[in-house]
């Protein structure tokens, strides 16, 4: 187990993908948080409250503005850790290194488990980078504009910390997803389309009916926000969330179910 884990960790450290992922996420989150913080503040000043631009005409108070900005990574940036996780599996197929990998360790379940565990430390670093981007960009902008940052508030600190946890869980979901869809380009495209279009649409649609509203809480994005305990969607009154622990379990569930499906399909077939 430790040998397989060390091998998988070295696979990540010897390529650039993980830190490029972290650097891009940091930059993207920084800019996004600056724009969001500034536009919320400006709309509070002009209209007395911040318009979210989301359906229902929801508005935000200054504290919700801060927490919405600090959890932007969980609401909009989880594609980064998800891709990080998926790449751990798909790059082996893209570059056909899965052959030497299975020659060195033919126990395929062990290979997949090691990949899941190996990605965790890198997912933590990437997630911290992303959340740091939102905090630096968001708090910096709020402070510059003379608004409270709420960074001293223990609840806010907890929300920020749990954002990192949610993003790390997203990396695990990514590993499971990569095991199911091993074609790298297809995996990235599907992840992008699902997280950026399908899930947001589903959440708005499902929330319209009482019968399906509960269902929407179990979507992975909603579960991630539940872990962080706050988000733009919630602040805008669009949706309820699960509790943080339920969110953790739902995301872990997605990761493990996907991983098992991958093991029983792609990883049972002839490879290499």
**Chain residues that interact with other proteins, rule: CB under 8 A:** 2-4, 6-7, 10-11, 14-17, 91, 95-107, 270-272
Q: Give the residue with the Cβ less far from other proteins, 85 or 137.
A: 85
- What is the smallest separation between the CB atom of 15 and other proteins, expressed in angstroms? 5
- What is the smallest separation between the CB atom of 4 and other proteins, expressed in angstroms? 6
- What is the smallest separation between the CB atom of 96 and other proteins, expressed in angstroms? 3
In angstroms, rounded to a whole number, what is the distance separating the alpha carbons of residues 134 and 73?
7
Q: Is the dihedral of CA 217, 221, 224, 229 positive or negative?
A: negative
Q: Which two tokens stand for residue 238?
A: 């669009």
- What is the smallest separation between the CB atom of 242 and other proteins, expressed in angstroms? 39
- What is the smallest separation between the CB atom of 185 and other proteins, expressed in angstroms? 16
Q: Give the residue with the Cβ less far from other proteins, 198 or 271.
A: 271
Q: Which two tokens stand for residue 104?
A: 């060195």
Q: Which letter does DSSP use for residue 150 in this model? A: -
In angstroms, rounded to a whole number, what is the distance separating the alpha carbons of residues 66 and 8?
38
- What is the smallest separation between the CB atom of 190 and other proteins, expressed in angstroms? 23
Q: Give the residue with the Cβ less far from other proteins, 97 or 243.
A: 97
**Tally of residues, the chain:** 272
Beta-carbon contacts of residue 70 (< 8 Å; ≥ 6 apart): 33, 131, 134, 135, 138, 139, 156, 159, 160, 163
Q: Give the residue with the Cβ less far from other proteins, 103 or 211.
A: 103
Q: Is 219 helix (H, G, I), strand (E, B) or coil?
A: coil
In angstroms, rounded to a whole number, what is the distance separating the alpha carbons of residues 215 and 90?
30
Cα–Cα distance list, 14 to 23, 130, 176 (Å): 17, 22, 22
Q: Give the residue with the Cβ less far from other proteins, 6 or 45.
A: 6
Q: Give the residue with the Cβ less far from other proteins, 17 or 249.
A: 17
Beta-carbon contacts of residue 28 (< 8 Å; ≥ 6 apart): 77, 80, 133
Q: Which two tokens stand for residue 194?
A: 């699902």
């Amino acid at each position: 187990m430790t040998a397989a884990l060390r091998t998988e960790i070295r696979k990540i450290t010897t390529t650039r993908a993980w830190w490029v992922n972290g650097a891009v996420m940091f930059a993207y989150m920084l800019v996004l948080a600056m724009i969001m913080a500034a536009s919320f503040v400006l709309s509070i000043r002009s209209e007395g409250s911040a318009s979210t631009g989301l359906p229902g005409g929801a508005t935000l108070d200054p504290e919700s503005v801060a927490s919405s900005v600090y959890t932007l990574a969980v609401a909009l940036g989880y594609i980064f850790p998800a891709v990080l996780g998926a790449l751990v599996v798909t790059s082996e197929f893209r570059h056909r290194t899965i052959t030497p990998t299975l020659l060195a360790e033919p126990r395929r379940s062990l290979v997949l488990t090691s990949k899941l565990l190996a990605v965790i430390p890198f997912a933590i670093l990437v997630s911290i980078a992303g959340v740091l981007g939102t905090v630096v960009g968001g708090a910096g902008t709020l402070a510059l504009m003379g608004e409270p940052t709420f960074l001293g508030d223990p609840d806010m600190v907890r929300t920020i910390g749990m954002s990192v946890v949610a993003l790390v869980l997203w990396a695990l979901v990514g590993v499971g997803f990569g095991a199911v869809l091993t074609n790298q380009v297809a995996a990235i495209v599907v992840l992008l389309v699902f997280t950026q279009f399908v899930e947001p649409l589903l959440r708005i649609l499902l929330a319209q009916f009482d019968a399906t509203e509960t269902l929407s809480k179990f979507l992975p994005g909603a579960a991630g926000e539940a872990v962080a305990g706050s988000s733009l969607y919630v602040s805008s009154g669009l949706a309820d969330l699960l509790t943080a622990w339920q969110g953790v379990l739902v995301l872990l569930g997605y990761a493990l179910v996907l991983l098992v499906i991958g093991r029983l399909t792609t990883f049972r077939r002839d490879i290499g």
